[in-house]
Amino acid sequence: MRHKKLIIGTGICLLGIALSAAWFIPCKLEATYAGKTPYQYDAVSAKSFHANTVSLLGRKNPVTDISISPKKLSKSIQRITVTYGDMSVSVPVKAIKADHIAWSYADGPIYEGDSFHSEDISAKLIYADNTQKELAVSDFELTKTPEILTADDHTVTAKTILGEEQYEIPLNTISKLSMESKELLYEGDYPKSDFSYEVTYSGNEKKELSVDDVEISDTISLAAGNNDISVTYLGKEYTSTITAKQKTAAVVAAETYKAELDNSVSNVTTDSIFVSVQQKYTESGEYFLTHIIVNDPSNQVKGGLSNDSWGSYREYPTTYAGRTGAAVTTNGSYFSYDSGNLYALDVLLKMEKF
């Protein structure tokens, strides 16, 4: 009987120990996310989780010395592993989903022909609730970029947290390339540097180009009339029309007698008249030789007398030229503008008598 009491007592004691252990010793871990609703790709802190150890009999003991993994939410519903000691539990954390990426490049208008600069590109992550967050440079990698922005190549390819993205940079494209000359052109050959080059963009803005910016023949041959000239810029060919006039006799003379013009004491060159005045020297004195070439002698050369009757109005050659439209006028009278007298060689006429 005594032995039975001892066994029962021991059994009760062991049962008490077991119950005590089942109450105090934790057997599993429970955790919940208690922070604010995060955004996808945000990092969360272990402090945002409430964790308890749970004994076999359901006793809960709060714990704070926990760790979590992963810390960054790569999914809109991310399972986070909470660990305490040798116990862990998986906790689902719902995040506000990232919807798309909004790209931007540089400030102000961008024109075809501009160089691409990777440092000028930026991106924002747009969430389902329209919240925007600036992406760091480390959040995306540019895998394909153009060197020069053109109408055919102005797209950037990037590897991002949302996968591969393509961004088409808004561009003011070239609508026209103009080639012009500041001077009147005649048929003939001209160096390409004699012309100016200008592009017009889709927004009607204009930009002057240097001769080194374009690809064109070193010598431009122009025929009389309209000439279509091909100019290549940024690998694209454009056609510009240059109008050249037919060379007149006066223009040909200016080219033929260029050395004479350079050494003249006075000259006039237009498309209708060529005049070169040379100063000549002889032993007995000096004189001036005038070389004149006109396009139409029948209309441009005039001769006449300046009202020979004594005492009547006398017209100057310049007035006569203006009245008749003559380029060259020859004074055919014997009227001396210096003395006011009529003369023929050394014979003077006065009162209609020699």
The residue written with tokens 């009147």 in the block is 184
Q: 198 in a domain, yes or no?
A: yes
Which of 77, 26, 28, 71 shows the shortest CA–CA distance to 47? Answer: 71
- Tell me how far apart the alpha carbons of residues 149 and 147 are, in angstroms, rounded to a whole number: 7
- Which residues constitute the domain of residue 132? 100-168
**pLDDT above 70 (res 125):** yes
- Tell me how far apart the alpha carbons of residues 279 and 283 are, in angstroms, rounded to a whole number: 14
113 and 153, same domain (yes or no):
yes
59 and 119, same domain (yes or no):
no
DSSP track, 289-344: EEEEEES-HHHHEEEE----STTS----HHHHHHHHT-SEEEE-S-B-TTTS-BEE
**Pair 40, 76: CB distance under 8 Å:** yes
Consecutive H or E run containing 257: none
- Facing residues of 37 across strands? none
Which of 66, 97, 93 shows the shortest CA–CA distance to 78? Answer: 93
Ranges 13-22, 94-103, 300-309: which has the least confidence = 13-22
253 and 240, same domain (yes or no):
no
Is residue 354 very low, low, confident or very high in pLDDT (cuts 50, 70, 90)? very low
Compute how many other C-beta atoms are within 10 angstroms of the C-beta atom of residue 154: 21
Q: 47 in a domain, yes or no?
A: yes
Going 244 to 249 to 250 to 252, the CA torsion angle's sign is positive
Look at residue 328 in the predicted model and tell me its pLDDT.
72
55 and 110, same domain (yes or no):
no
Consecutive H or E run containing 168: strand 163-168
237 and 265, same domain (yes or no):
no
Q: Which residue has the higher pLDDT, 11 or 331?
A: 331
**pLDDT above 70 (res 95):** yes
Ranges 66-75, 164-173, 290-299, 344-353: which has the least confidence = 344-353
Q: 6 in a domain, yes or no?
A: no
Q: 128 in a domain, yes or no?
A: yes
Q: 7 in a domain, yes or no?
A: no
pTM over 0.85: no
Is residue 299 very low, low, confident or very high in pLDDT (cuts 50, 70, 90)? confident
Residues recorded for the chain: 354
**pLDDT above 80 (res 35):** yes
Q: Which residues are within 8 A (CB) of 37 and not within 5 positions of it... i.e. 6 or more apart?
A: 94, 95, 96
- Tell me how far apart the alpha carbons of residues 63 and 44 are, in angstroms, rounded to a whole number: 18
Q: 71 in a domain, yes or no?
A: yes
Which tens digit of pLDDT belongs to each residue from 197-245? 999 999 899 999 999 999 999 999 999 999 999 999 999 999 999 999 9
Distances (CA, A) of 291 to 269, 304, 326, 340: 11, 21, 16, 29
Q: What is the CATH classification number for the domain harbouring 64?
A: 2.60.40
139 and 179, same domain (yes or no):
no
151 and 164, same domain (yes or no):
yes
154 and 124, same domain (yes or no):
yes
What is the tally of helices (H) and strands (E) in the chain?
A: 5, 26
210 and 190, same domain (yes or no):
yes
| Domains held by the chain: number | 5
237 and 255, same domain (yes or no):
no
Given 69, 94, 119, the domain boundary residue is 94
267 and 219, same domain (yes or no):
no
309 and 343, same domain (yes or no):
yes
Q: 16 in a domain, yes or no?
A: no
Q: 14 in a domain, yes or no?
A: no
**pLDDT above 90 (res 189):** yes
Q: If you average pLDDT over every residue of the chain, what do you get?
A: 85
